[in-house]
């Protein structure tokens, strides 16, 4: 039988009708060299990893790996998200917080971080009686009031878990990730311990009078300053002291006494000013601790803080059906005033100055231009979380979004 002849290999045809060689000898040799170096590199990498594991295997611990993960997911930008597909089991003492575009939900048994558009999240088991969650641009801080346990998280990992020396009574978290814990103390009634964003202990602070209580504390965005709010009680009369210190300093830069005031909370604003809210007045200070203003808080029902200001909702009658709404800047100056005729259960101030108020069966929105709109809502809403152009309605088993169109 005659051998069948193979058809000759055709050269590649060029668009102009010409021909080019099917292979280029020069590039064939170059690709061969790269292929050889690829395998040599992989072999050297395997040898290096084996040598390192054999030599330093005892030094590679779970804690080391967690520390390497501490900066993962700390630089992604926040973005409005759709959490309509998120559902969870009801827990005791539930907390909700927006964490750089994600939603953090915690309770007595677990902490879960949900990303937008995903029904599932990253879950961490807890055993807490009074859980508290604080969030910043970098970390999420969890601690259990009355116990000694606390932890620091990104959206992807638990990067640090610790046990305090004494029972935890409060905490603070800066925008950049520095954090502090207020605890009982063996040297005074209370103490505050400060860590920087790299988890290094900066210092421990005590009240100016060791018999005073530390009610709250706040850390500036750049973690260069910390303010403690302490108080003494004499025959049921409170006297508040505001203590401002440089991070790591051994003495207080400013010590201001507010007689007859019971402290409620403290916060820093993005421009370095800070505010101390008390039962009779809210006091505004500049970055050096100089008092700028005192705003009455009698009848204060709800409040919310943003990086540039604070929202106060004050009841005008006994049944709290008439409410005055005030937005103040970081110096205590009024930015916007409004009035709402409804019983209100929660309030949230967005970064752009938009105000959200939770009524009995609806949510109100007061835009920066003072226009007021509302949307009906149903179910047992526990908390409002203000995002960028929307607000989340947090319920015991899920969340929904109101004003998602972002229109005023």
The mean pLDDT value for 300-305 works out to 95
135-192 tens-digit pLDDT: 999 999 999 999 999 999 987 888 899 999 999 999 999 999 999 999 999 999 999 9
Query: Is the pLDDT score of 194 beyond 90?
Result: yes
Beta partners for 172? 180
Using the CB atoms, write b or e for 10-35: b if 16+ within 10 Å: eeeeeeeeeeeeeeeeeeeeeeeeee
d(CA 395, CA 265): 25
Half-sphere exposure of 205 (CA within 13 A, CB side): 33
Q: What is the pLDDT of residue 82?
A: 76
The mean pLDDT value for 315-343 works out to 94
25-65 tens-digit pLDDT: 777 778 878 888 888 888 998 888 888 878 776 666 555 55
Asked, for residue 323, whether it belongs to a domain, the answer is yes
pTM: 0.80
Number of structural domains found in the chain: 1
Q: What is the pLDDT of residue 85?
A: 79
The mean pLDDT value for 292-313 works out to 96
CATH number at residue 383: 2.120.10.30
Asked, for residue 69, whether it belongs to a domain, the answer is no
Query: Is the pLDDT score of 389 beyond 60?
Result: yes
Asked, for residue 84, whether it belongs to a domain, the answer is no
Asked, for residue 340, whether it belongs to a domain, the answer is yes
Contact 230, 213 (CB under 8 A): yes
Helix (H) / strand (E) containing 190: strand 190-195
Q: How far is CA 74 from CA 62, 111, 346, in A?
A: 20, 18, 29
Find the domain containing 334 and state its range.
Answer: 299-408
Asked, for residue 143, whether it belongs to a domain, the answer is no
Asked, for residue 368, whether it belongs to a domain, the answer is yes
Give the count of beta carbons closer than 10 Å to the beta carbon of residue 186: 7
55-70 tens-digit pLDDT: 776 666 555 555 455 5
Asked, for residue 290, whether it belongs to a domain, the answer is no
115-143 tens-digit pLDDT: 887 777 889 999 999 999 999 999 999 99
Q: What is the pLDDT of residue 60?
A: 63
Asked, for residue 259, whether it belongs to a domain, the answer is no
Query: Is the pLDDT score of 78 beyond 50?
Result: no
């Amino acid at each position: 039988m005659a051998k069948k002849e193979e058809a000759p290999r055709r050269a590649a045809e060029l668009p102009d009708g010409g021909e080019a060689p099917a292979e280029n000898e020069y590039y064939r040799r170059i690709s061969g060299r790269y292929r050889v170096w690829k395998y040599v590199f992989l072999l050297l990498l395997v040898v290096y990893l084996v040598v390192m594991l054999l030599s330093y295997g005892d030094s590679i611990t779970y804690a080391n790996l967690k520390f390497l993960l501490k900066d993962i997911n700390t630089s992604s930008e926040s973005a409005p998200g759709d959490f309509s597909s998120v559902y969870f089991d009801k827990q005791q003492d539930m907390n909700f917080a927006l964490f750089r575009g994600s939603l953090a939900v915690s309770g007595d048994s677990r902490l879960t971080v949900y990303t937008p558009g995903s029904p599932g999240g990253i879950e961490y088991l807890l055993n807490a009686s009074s859980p508290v969650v604080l969030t910043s641009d970098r970390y999420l801080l969890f601690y259990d009031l009355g116990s000694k346990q606390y932890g620091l998280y990104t959206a992807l990992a638990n990067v640090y878990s610790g046990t305090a020396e004494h029972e935890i009574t409060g905490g603070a978290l800066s925008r950049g990730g520095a954090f502090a814990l207020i605890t009982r103390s063996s040297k005074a009634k209370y103490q505050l311990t400060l860590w920087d964003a790299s988890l290094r202990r900066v210092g421990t602070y005590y009240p100016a009078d060791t018999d005073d209580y530390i009610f709250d504390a706040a850390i500036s965005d750049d973690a260069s300053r910390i303010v403690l709010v302490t108080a003494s009680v004499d025959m049921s009369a409170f006297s508040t002291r505001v203590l401002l210190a440089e991070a790591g300093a051994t003495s207080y830069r400013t010590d201001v006494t507010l007689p007859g005031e019971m402290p409620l909370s403290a916060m820093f604003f993005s421009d370095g000013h800070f505010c101390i809210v008390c039962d009779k007045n809210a006091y505004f200070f500049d970055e050096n601790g100089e008092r700028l203003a005192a705003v009455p808080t009698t009848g204060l029902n709800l409040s919310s803080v943003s990086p540039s200001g604070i929202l106060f909702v004050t009841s005008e009658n006994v049944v709290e059906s008439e409410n005055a709404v005030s937005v103040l800047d970081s110096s205590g100056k009024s930015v916007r005033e409004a009035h709402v005729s409804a019983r209100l259960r929660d309030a949230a101030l967005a970064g752009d100055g938009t105000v959200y108020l939770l009524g009995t069966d609806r949510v109100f929105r007061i835009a920066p231009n003072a226009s007021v709109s509302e949307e009906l809502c149903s179910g047992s809403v526990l908390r409002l979380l203000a995002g960028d152009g929307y607000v989340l309605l947090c319920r015991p088993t899920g969340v929904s979004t109101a004003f998602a169109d972002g229109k005023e």
